Amino acid sequence: MNNHARYTAPSAVILGDPEIGEGTWIGYYTVIDGSGGLKIGENCSIASGVHIYTHSSHRKTTGSGPFLKASVEIGDNVAVGANSVIMMGCKILSNTVVPALTLLKPYTVYGNVKQK
């Protein structure tokens, strides 16, 4: 695992081989699924209870299709609020705050838009 996190809580579950940038904080009771490809940038804060998924097995389980995988990319200086869920294929731009209890549906691009 390429984990250069500043802190990873002992109760965090990290699956696969995610790339985790320096200075990143991973909170308690998080699920970090890197099985489909995951990059978390530098100096991020992944709050307690956050779940990040890079795969979905529901189609295979119900017999309606294959096991799905898609990578997740989180930029630098991102704060993900407590109990948020980030689904496969999502991209979070650098310098973004994801509020607590946010659900990012598959293949969402999320980020701050600066106005002039």
CA distance 110 to 74: 10
Given a contact cutoff of 8 angstroms between Cβ atoms, the answer to whether 29 and 36 are in contact is: no
pLDDT in tens, 5-60: 889 999 999 999 999 999 999 999 999 999 999 999 999 999 999 999 999 876 66
Question: For the whole model, what pTM was predicted?
Answer: 0.89
CA distance 88 to 58: 13
What residue type is 95 in one-letter code?
N
For residue 16, give Cα distances in angstroms to 5, 52, 93, 98, 114: 16, 12, 22, 24, 34
pLDDT of residue 83: 98
- For the record, the structure tokens of 7 come out as 């802190």
Return the CATH number of the domain spanning residue range 2-104: 2.160.10.10
pLDDT of residue 43: 97
